[in-house]
Amino acid sequence: MAVDYYNLDDVLGDEYLLIRAATRAFIEKDIAPVMDSYAQAHEPIPDLMRKLGDIGALGPFIPTEYGGAGLDYMAYGLIMQELEAGDSAIRSAASVQSSLVMFPIYTFGSEEQKRKYLPLLGKGEYIGAFGLTEPNHGSDPAHMETKLLRDGTNKGYILTGTKMWITNAPICDVAVVWAKDEAGKVRGVIVERQDAGFSTPEIANKWSLRASLTGELVFDQVHITEDRLLPGVSSMRGPLSCLNSARYGIAWGAIGAAIDCYRIALQYALERKQFGKAIASFQLQQKKLAEMLTEITKAQLLVWRLGQLRNTNKATPQQISMAKRNNVYMALQVARDARQLLGAMGIVGDYPIMRHMMNLESVITYEGTHDIHLLITGQDITGISAF
């Protein structure tokens, strides 16, 4: 059942529709039948990254010569939408690998770093993590405490500190980590699993993103050689540009979760009978469905235009921020309304609505909280920082 009230498919064109259909087919065949069982068990889907690599969902905007699919940002958005219709954990895995690991290596890395890491990451043979958030610094990463100091021999650096709430940390092969040097400049480095002093304890007992592994990145005097330093950036511009890419993908992905909830709610309303007729015939249920579809349609139009701007390098961080905030909040509200429409059935694993709802409680917080994104918009329109 298509959810395209404003006929956006007519604008997208055949190539984008084929990419979306291929991603949707992967979700329906490989993810949907097993997703609830893995989420209930608090376990990741086995070999997920290689499967995502096989369908071109890892770094799709990275040129083919470096192991990407050579697609544009509209295609990337559509892929993220279909992955999140399966589960936010699936989209998170692809989003982190693409926007937070492959993007900075491609944008700020040396030619040698691109050749070494990007093809392996693009195939899902390497799993990446992104280290920015710290135990004491979430919304204010500029005050990070992780340090990257010269080792005294001019042959490398010593990395110390801790990053927290890191997707894929427990299983990552490489991590792009942001730290401050002696001059207080923010530098990006590539940390490898085998590095002495590097550990990745898992964060357990989550009610959200249960099929995604989350953990810490702990650096106890980790030696970093010069060739692991990202040479192309030495400021907060580095991690913030990564977040812009990730937030763009989230703005699209959240629509997938909302569409999945809406489709199920509509089907259930048409089939479920009370007082001798389908509950879809009652005004209050029609109100819920009409409002869900309206908000989904508005979100679709928002990211479609944002995709055009992103493809021409005209999308501002503030525009991306608005789309991330609006669309995730929209999806969370759609999930809540769908849960109410299904009544008690909305809380059981036979339907994915409660799973989507719990996941979106994380999505509305990570990559910039709902409130922080509001303040980003407020600063942009008034010229006054409220931070």
* pLDDT, tens digit, 9 for 90 and up, residues 305-346: 999 999 999 999 999 999 999 999 999 999 999 999 999 999
Quote the pLDDT of residue 155. 78
Bridge-based pairing state of the strands 174-180 and 128-131? parallel
Mean of pLDDT values over 356-363: 98
CATH assignment of 129-228, among 3.40.50.80, 2.40.110.10, 3.40.50.2300, 3.30.160.20: 2.40.110.10
Topology adopted by domain 237-382: Butyryl-CoA Dehydrogenase, subunit A; domain 3 (1.20.140)
Mean of pLDDT values over 203-209: 95
For 11-59, write each residue's pLDDT tens digit.
999 999 999 999 999 999 999 999 999 999 999 999 999 999 999 999 9
The domain locations on the chain are 9-127, 129-228, 237-382
Q: Is the pTM of this model over 0.75?
A: yes
Asked if pLDDT for residue 363 goes beyond 80, the answer is yes
Asked if pLDDT for residue 124 goes beyond 90, the answer is yes
Asked if pLDDT for residue 91 goes beyond 80, the answer is yes
Angstrom distance (rounded) from CA 20 to CA 256: 11
Positions annotated as catalytic residues are: 367
Quote the pLDDT of residue 1. 59
Percent of the chain with pLDDT over 90: 97
For residue 170, what pLDDT band results from cuts at 50, 70 and 90? Answer: very high
What's the CATH number for 9-127?
Answer: 1.10.540.10
